[in-house]
Structure 1
Amino acid sequence: MTNVIEIDRVTKRYGSFTAVDEATLRVPKGCVFALLGENGAGKTTLVRMLLGLLTPDGGAVSVLGRDSTRHGEEIRRQVGYVPERPTLYEWMTAAEIGWFTAGFYPDGYEQHYRNLLDRFRVPPGRKISKMSKGMRAKVALSLAMAHRPPLLVLDEPTSGLDTLVRREFLESMVDLAAEGHTVLLSSHLIGEVERVADQVAIVREGRVLAVDPLDRLKLGAYEITATMQGAASAPPPTPGTLLESSRRGKQWRLLVRDVDDEAAIDRLAELDSVAVVDRRTPGLEEIFVAYMKQSGPLRQAAEHRAPLEQV
């Protein structure tokens, strides 16, 4: 099995509202794969369809080689899942909830769970009702990881957590991927995605606008500043895919990606209409913002060029 998750033209509607709109992507084994989008982009709906908790209105979803619509229960047994607001039995201690959950899994679960509690410095005898939000999150993550799942799904897991707890979550994701497991991270926090993700899908209004390895997404992107000879009403032709353009006086600022030949940018200065060309490599945040601001023909062009089938 090359891909742990396969999503083909999946759509989910709630009445007249389309939460997920013909999304397509592949998640390979042994990586940290991030769904990056603003709140309300459709990420949680997509996650719930992966787990068989929602039925898509169109398209197909496969997780660990099984159709999520028909085999949701089997998938949920194998997958570790941490939602944004995990529900835990408040009256139990950390040790008791591990003992209780172990009844649903093979031998070895409880011991591994206790090892994780020790790693995350969670007191096993403390009641969950007496725990901080960060400590509860560590309990939820330990419960999800204790059966050594081939796929760990995290839906906004670090929302509202302090810096140290967030760091521990991120380190756990990297460690799991290094051991050959796969992590699907749904997040709107660009910094944490940039820190741990191997591959990124940018999602807006239910649509997958781009899917790429993180290094390719960033290294193939450039911010071009073209100073024109006169007040040009249109920007110069650019290599790659144009994500965003803006003008201030004689200068055009252009954000492009999928540029295979850097020299093509320098050659813009040879145009009669161009006086000076500068370029720099933008960060993930600038690329993400450019996708979020797209509309009309520009957005359609980006969607057409997005390499959905390469992951």
Structure 2
Amino acid sequence: MNPVISTDQLTMRFRGCDALLGVDLTIQPGTVFALLGENGAGKTTLIRILTGFQKPTSGSASVCDFDPLKQPLEVRRRVGYVSDNPALYDWMTVGQIGWFTASFYPDGFYDAYRESIAKYEIPEDRKIRVLSKGQRAKIALSLALAHDPELLILDEPTSGLDPMVRREFLESMIGRAASGRTVFLSSHQINEVERVADTIGILHNGKLQACEPLNDLKGSMTELTVSLDDPLVQVPTLPEPAETLLEENQGRQRRVLVRNFDPSMISFIESASGVVGVRDRTMTLEEIFIAHTRKGFAGPPGPPPELSRGPIESPKPPAGDGGRESEVVTTGEQS
């Protein structure tokens, strides 16, 4: 089967910053793919390119076997989109916004939408403006799924939602993938996506630092605690294929995060002058994320990853440009 999403050296440069730098990405159908990255890492810029709202500086992309730059409408017919702050028409009722959006889709859209909001127990006669953020997210998800898209793109969809709504929202994605559809989830909420994702991509400063199945990613990463007889002793450079991502000084101990570590290397480290002992353990996804986004860091911890500075994301498209296509995008497929 062809990949649902594939990119080749996708690059996006804005004045003063590089949002994406040579991103190569392949996402297979029937999976939940989670793209992790700090605010400003380039996640939303990538989504805008994939949905045809942004022309890349260079490189190419394919979504559901279509070029989003040359065939944007074909892509959007096959994609559902939910953002962290869905742009819905506040003056409409829950039922009216579904009826309005159904005019852009084949028969069956409105019935599927009504079935979805009934499951969420949201009255059809209630105005959008009086809904809570959680209810608005459920409306946006219902609109995005009513045409049964091949690909569902979620851009920080659980931001600001209460824990129960977040759990329901994300767990519904597992069933989506089980039916053969694909979910692309962009987030920096690591603990949430770890429960639902099959494959993880880590984007940092516009570069894809890692992209592989979750179990493979966690299995390839190891934390070493090296005890030293003197804080100035250097830990020996590990032989290939091991790659040191992060090294921190902790007095007479050195914390080293390594990719592709082999247990046989422990004896190599212990044989070095000044090394007293070595302990190893498997890393959590959060630790793996920090290791990739703070590569080369040595010293006391800095601010949390989501607060760190990065490339400025491109602005989202205005709500409507006078055409019918732009209006419907604001309800369920906007990027």
Q: Normalising by structure 1, report the TM-score.
A: 0.90
- The range that moved more, 263-272 or 193-202, is 263-272
1:115–1:265 distance in 2 versus 1, CA, 3 Å: farther
State whether structure 2 residue 75 is matched by structure 1 residue 75: yes
Greater RCO, 1 or 2 (C-alpha within 8 Å, sep 6+): 2
State whether structure 2 residue 4 is matched by structure 1 residue 4: yes
Residue 32 of structure 1 corresponds to 32
1:233–1:275 distance in 2 versus 1, CA, 3 Å: closer
Q: Gapped runs of 5+ residues in structure 2?
A: 298-335
Take 1:270 and 1:120, find their aligned partners in 2: how far apart are those partners?
62
Take 1:94 and 1:246, find their aligned partners in 2: how far apart are those partners?
53
Residue 20 of structure 2 corresponds to 20
Q: CA RMSD in A?
A: 1.6
Take 2:296 and 2:10, find their aligned partners in 1: how far apart are those partners?
22
Secondary structure of residue in 1 paired with 2:211: strand
Residue 113 of structure 2 corresponds to 113
- The range that moved more, 245-254 or 62-71, is 245-254
Secondary structure of residue in 1 paired with 2:5: strand
Residue 190 of structure 1 corresponds to 190
For 1:200, the aligned partner's letter is I
User: Displacement, 1:20?
Assistant: 1.1
Take 2:119 and 2:264, find their aligned partners in 1: how far apart are those partners?
50
Residue 241 of structure 1 corresponds to 243
Residue 85 of structure 1 corresponds to 85
1:84-107 CA deviation, whole Å, 9 max, x = no partner?
221111121111111111111111
- The range that moved more, 211-220 or 144-153, is 211-220
User: Displacement, 1:284?
Assistant: 0.9
Q: Gapped runs of 5+ residues in structure 1?
A: 297-311
Secondary structure of residue in 2 paired with 1:185: strand
- The range that moved more, 16-25 or 146-155, is 16-25
Name the structure where helix makes up a greater proportion of residues.
1
For 1:268, the aligned partner's letter is I
Residue 255 of structure 1 corresponds to 257
For 1:28, the aligned partner's letter is Q
- The range that moved more, 145-154 or 244-253, is 244-253
1:9–1:279 distance in 2 versus 1, CA, 3 Å: same
State whether structure 2 residue 111 is matched by structure 1 residue 100: no
Residue 283 of structure 1 corresponds to 284
Take 1:235 and 1:270, find their aligned partners in 2: how far apart are those partners?
11
1:254-285 CA deviation, whole Å, 9 max, x = no partner?
111223x3333355334454221111111111
1:33–1:97 distance in 2 versus 1, CA, 3 Å: same
Aligned residues: 295
1:295–1:272 distance in 2 versus 1, CA, 3 Å: closer
- The range that moved more, 30-39 or 8-17, is 8-17
- Preserved contact between residue 238 and residue 265 of structure 1 (Cα < 8 Å): no
1:265–1:118 distance in 2 versus 1, CA, 3 Å: farther
For 1:194, the aligned partner's letter is E
For 1:279, the aligned partner's letter is D
1:205-257 CA deviation, whole Å, 9 max, x = no partner?
11111111111111221110111344453213336221101223332211112
Take 2:214 and 2:82, find their aligned partners in 1: how far apart are those partners?
23
